[in-house]
Amino acid sequence: MVSTLVQAGVLFWIWWSFARGPATTVGFVRSSAAAVCAFVAFGKVLSPQFLIWLIPAVPLVRGRRGLWASALLLVALVLTQIWFPFRYFRLSLDFEAGLSWVLLGRDLVLVALAVLLAWPSHTRRHARVAATA
């Protein structure tokens, strides 16, 4: 129940942030990638195959944020490949400690990626502050 509420809250925050900002292609692509990433990272089940959904979306994000996002996605993909598919049963049946840390690291990288993509851009915040001053 908690994970569903967190997932819904993060998706609503992404939608709200996009709806309040200027309707640009860059913002739409970033918000779309953030929504897919949030759906994957905060869902009840995080199957390794779900990372495939991020491969076409995240590299489309432009600028420095896009470079950092692509780097985080690459780290998540490598961490996933370390344990899946060849060491899957060592983790799922024996709860091997080293692989559990790899899995936790992958999950934290996905959460960081979702936050990086969902965080409002600096230009939008500065424009809002200037408009209210």
| The two structure tokens encoding residue 10 | 């993060």
Tell me: the pLDDT tens digits for 98-124? 788 888 899 999 999 999 998 887 655
The model's pTM: 0.78
- Contact (CB, 8 A) for 113 and 41: yes
Query: Residue 38 — pLDDT band, cuts 50, 70, 90?
Result: very high
Q: Give the integer Cα–Cα distance in Å for 97 and 17.
A: 39
Cα gap 1→65, rounded to integer Å: 32
Tens of pLDDT along 62-110?
999 999 999 999 999 999 888 887 776 666 777 777 788 888 899 999 9
Measured between alpha carbons, how far is 119 from 1 in angstroms, rounded to an integer?
25
Residue extents of the structural domains in the chain: 2-132
Nearest to 17 by CA among 28, 4, 5: 28
